[in-house]
Amino acid sequence: MTAQNPTTRRVLVARPRGYCAGVDRAVATVEKALEQYGPPIYVRKQIVHNTHVVRTLEKRGAVFVDETDEVPEGAIVIFSAHGVSPAVHEEAARRSLKTIDATCPLVTKVHNEAKRFAAKDYDILLIGHEGHEEVEGTAGEAPDHIRLVDGPDGVEKVQVRDPNRVVWLSQTTLSVDETKQTVARLRERFPNLIDPPSDDICYATQNRQTAVKEIAARSDLVIVVGSNNSSNSKRLVEVAKDAGAPAAYLVDDASYIEDAWLEGVSTVGLTSGASVPEELVEGVLAKLATHGFTDVEEVESVAEHMRFALPHELRKDLRAATTA
């Protein structure tokens, strides 16, 4: 694609983008808990992987901690959307903390699969990124049965007890295409490998990758709004490049956009990760408009309607408050 008259500069905005049902629920959980119980409300780890969301909630009285031992005895602690291992629940119970579990139901689904296959004594090949909170939480459900496979290059070194009793599961926010490659390599090594009962890469991750592919090949540059510790946002940058975008960058907000990126560019593709509030995308559109990118087209590839109810322990207290 070549540079055109600046008046023809345009933006293709991917849809769906931004908040998924799990993030929406997790953020609402902290907001409602602050209203219901008053600050401070402790949150173990970042409730979702987005710097702006965390800062906004901090201003309202949320206190983010790394571990439950930083929470005063008897206080309220919310577990993040990425999930926690049983050991974290046990530690919270020992310290008499009141817990509200905002783990995304689609992460819980993977935990339940791990428990089920571990109970049948399968070796579970968990495809995911080492050190990611979600992976730590899932692995903690069955530490003796789970072997981590960190992408296609991790396949060769994985060891199993019986190659005929192996199943693969995955982190919810991986690249769909790369995970297919990882599974294909695993199946070469373990022909009797069992698939998960349903997709572990969640609907939101899949839809956002489908949507960015749709705009990538038509763009000179793709901007993904998202934080650097957000797995699904980082995958969108990779997917955009693989789908033909000559350049793709991850930005926390509009202030990270460098003018040099826009030189010679006539079409910018724009999307955002599953933990990103729409106002940050609007900020990027406003900045692009100052550079002549005023022709904005939304490109919808999949319709999304998923919603999750708030955690039951919070709903119970909210119900009691309204009937009191």
By CB under 6 A, name the binding residues for ligand SF4. Answer: 20-23, 81, 104, 106-107, 172-173, 202, 204-205, 232, 274
Taking the least distance from each CB to ligand SF4, the nearer of 43 and 193 is: 43
- How deeply is 304 buried, as exposed, middle or buried, from its count of CB atoms within 10 A (0-12, 13-18, 19+)? middle
Taking the least distance from each CB to ligand SF4, the nearer of 205 and 209 is: 205
Closest CA to 140 of 123, 115, 159, 117: 115
Two structure tokens written together for 286: 């406003």
Residue 57 corresponds to which amino acid? Answer: L
145 is in an annotated binding site: no
Which residues participate in catalysis according to the annotation? 134
Closest CA to 257 of 266, 246, 268: 268
- How deeply is 116 buried, as exposed, middle or buried, from its count of CB atoms within 10 A (0-12, 13-18, 19+)? middle
89 is in an annotated binding site: no
* Cβ 286 to ligand SF4 shortest distance, Å: 26
210 is in an annotated binding site: no
82 is in an annotated binding site: yes
* Cβ 253 to ligand SF4 shortest distance, Å: 20
Chain position whose Cβ is nearest to ligand SF4: 22
Taking the least distance from each CB to ligand SF4, the nearer of 123 and 200 is: 200
Taking the least distance from each CB to ligand SF4, the nearer of 9 and 25 is: 25
232 is in an annotated binding site: yes
The b-or-e profile of 35-56 (16+ CB within 10 A means b, else e) is eebeeebbbbbbbbbbbbbbeb
CB 83 within 8 A of CB 108: yes
CB 51 within 8 A of CB 253: no
- How deeply is 217 buried, as exposed, middle or buried, from its count of CB atoms within 10 A (0-12, 13-18, 19+)? middle
179 is in an annotated binding site: no
* Cβ 110 to ligand SF4 shortest distance, Å: 8
Taking the least distance from each CB to ligand SF4, the nearer of 110 and 268 is: 110
* Cβ 23 to ligand SF4 shortest distance, Å: 5
The b-or-e profile of 121-153 (16+ CB within 10 A means b, else e) is ebbbbbbbbeebbbbbbbbbbbeebbbbbbbbe
20 is in an annotated binding site: yes
Q: How is the beta sheet containing 267-272 ordered, strand by strand?
A: 248-251, 221-225, 267-272, 10-15, 295-300
E-strand ranges in 70-145 read 76-79, 98-101, 123-127
